């Protein structure tokens, strides 16, 4: 995996017209100041293509703050939960709720039980920021740092390369971890997210993106009517605190069976022990595809707007989170409160608590290795 870096001036004029829609291949990137975090400047980059799709990414947290894509009538709407200013992500209410809207998550996406793990005979203690457990990289994970950024140019895409050095001992993790995350918007209405990381000591690495989607773009009170498919025969059973038990039950005959499309809300209210642990869906599905091979993992469809989304990934799992703790206390760019289950996440990942579950795919990264991962969110209408 390699990056092609361009100057912002070049990237801002990408694209040449071809037959058909003369704007179809037009790709642009612009940069604007977005505030300060201490002495660090925060920037907001806007990626656009010629089909009416737009993605905004902030260097604070590597955060997708806005994602606009057309409905079946060609009217673009924002399908991602976020805020128009840095202050929204730094407010007391947001930091208390900590929903991770649109953020890059690391070093470890999801939970690590008891906030500790052993590696090569040494035990490491992490921040216990989710009860007794460690969640999404700790008290100051990758979602709360300012990333370096440079524009990217590829054939048929415009993008942004974010980089960050997580120093040895940060949030309790060993090793200096050099991380790069590339966001690309393609002419085919794909948001491609590519990850790469190296370390100088054995460590853990499990990166993901935490965008909340609402394909109705504010035209529905919640996401329970979205029709979802997840290509997985099994899911990761959890106990108290949403920490895996180690068992991987079959989805057949349970509310976790999304092998055929049905509404997110169809079974969410059932008296199932696993749903009660998560207050709804907050679980990892074990994808059927081979780990490391870019494959279709999930699809979502919102019948009123006609918007559809396909999720492709090289990861072995995907976490469905149904916005169970959204409560209307946070309000986004369009002055719409983010009410209960107003957004859902499909977080591609390795399994929760993998460092303490030897049977799960490993999340250990060693100095002679390079962590690579890719996820694509592709948008269309029907």
Residue 123 · residue 360 · CB < 8 Å: no
Name the active-site residue from 210, 226, 283, 350.
210
Reported pTM: 0.94
Q: What is the DSSP string of 91-160?
A: SHHHHHH---TT-EE-SBSSEEGGGEEEETTEEEE----BTTBEETTSTT-GGGSBPEEEEEEETTEEEE
The DSSP output letter for 238 is B
* pLDDT value for 27: 94
For residue 157, give the nearest of 7, 17, 29, 296 by alpha carbon.
29
Residue-level pLDDT, tens digit, the chain, 382 residues: 555 554 454 344 333 233 345 566 789 999 999 999 999 999 999 999 999 999 999 999 999 999 999 999 999 999 999 999 999 999 999 999 999 999 999 999 999 999 999 999 999 999 999 999 999 999 999 999 999 999 998 889 999 999 999 999 999 999 999 999 999 999 999 999 999 999 999 999 999 999 999 999 989 999 999 999 999 999 999 999 999 999 999 999 999 999 999 999 999 999 999 999 999 999 999 999 998 999 999 999 999 999 999 999 999 999 999 999 999 999 987 788 999 999 999 999 999 999 999 999 999 999 999 999 999 999 999 9
Instruction: Determine the Cα–Cα distance for residues 106 and 20; give it in Å rounded to an integer.
Output: 42
347 part of the active site: yes
| Those residues with Cβ within 8 angstroms of residue 155's Cβ, 6 or more apart along the chain or in another chain | none
* pLDDT value for 8: 52
Instruction: Determine the Cα–Cα distance for residues 146 and 132; give it in Å rounded to an integer.
Output: 27
* pLDDT value for 215: 98
* pLDDT value for 355: 98
Q: Which run of H or E residues covers position 10?
A: helix 8-11
Cis preceding linkage at 116, omega within 30: no
Instruction: Determine the Cα–Cα distance for residues 320 and 267; give it in Å rounded to an integer.
Output: 14
Name the active-site residue from 227, 315, 347, 374.
347
Q: Which residues of 26-63 are buried (b: 16+ CB within 10 A; e: fewer)?
A: bbbbebeebbebeeeebbbbbbbbbbebbbbbbbbbbb
**How many helices (H) and strands (E) in the chain?**
4, 26
Which residues make up the CATH 2.70.98.10 domain(s) of the chain?
A: 8-212, 227-364
For residue 344, give the nearest of 280, 287, 285 by alpha carbon.
280
CATH of 8-212, one of 3.40.50.720, 3.30.910.20, 2.70.98.10, 3.40.50.1980: 2.70.98.10
- Return the CATH fold of 227-364: Beta-galactosidase; Chain A, domain 5 (2.70.98)
């Amino acid at each position: 995996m390699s990056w092609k870096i361009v100057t912002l001036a070049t990237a801002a004029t990408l694209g040449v017209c071809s037959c058909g829609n003369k704007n179809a291949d037009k790709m642009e990137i612009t940069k604007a100041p977005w505030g300060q975090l201490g002495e660090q400047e925060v920037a907001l980059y806007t990626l656009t293509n010629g089909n009416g799709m737009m993605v905004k990414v902030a260097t604070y947290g590597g955060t997708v703050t806005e994602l606009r894509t057309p409905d079946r009538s060609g009217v673009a709407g924002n399908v991602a939960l976020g805020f128009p200013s840095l202050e929204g992500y730094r407010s007391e209410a947001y930091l208390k709720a900590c929903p991770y809207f649109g953020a890059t998550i690391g070093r470890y996406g999801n939970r690590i039980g008891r906030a500790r793990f052993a590696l090569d005979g040494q035990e490491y203690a992490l921040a216990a920021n989710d009860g007794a457990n460690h969640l999404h990289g700790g008290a100051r994970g990758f979602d709360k740092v300012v990333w370096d950024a440079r524009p990217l140019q590829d054939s048929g895409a415009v993008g942004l390369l974010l980089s960050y050095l997580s120093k040895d001992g940060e949030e309790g993790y060993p090793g200096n971890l050099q991380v790069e995350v590339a966001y690309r918007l393609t002419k085919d209405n794909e948001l491609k997210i590519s990850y790469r990381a190296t370390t100088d000591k054995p460590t853990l690495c499990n990166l993901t993106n935490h965008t909340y989607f609402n394909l109705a773009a504010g035209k529905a009170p919640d996401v329970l009517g979205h029709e979802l498919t997840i290509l997985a025969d099994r899911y990761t059973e959890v106990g108290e605190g949403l920490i895996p038990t180690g068992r991987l039950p079959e989805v057949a005959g349970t509310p976790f069976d999304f092998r055929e499309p049905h509404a997110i809300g169809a079974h969410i209210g059932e008296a199932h022990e696993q749903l009660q642990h998560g207050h709804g869906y907050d679980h990892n599905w074990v994808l059927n595809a081979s780990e490391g091979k870019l494959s279709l993992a999930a699809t979502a469809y919102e019948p009123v707007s006609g918007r559809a989304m396909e999720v492709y990934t090289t990861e072995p799992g995907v976490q469905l989170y149904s916005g169970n703790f959204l409560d209307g206390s946070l309000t986004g760019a369009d002055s719409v409160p983010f009410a209960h289950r107003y957004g859902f996440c499909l977080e591609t990942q390795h399994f929760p608590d993998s460092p303490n579950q030897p049977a799960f795919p490993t999340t250990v990264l060693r100095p002679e290795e390079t962590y690579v991962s890719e996820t694509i969110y592709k948008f269309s209408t029907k």
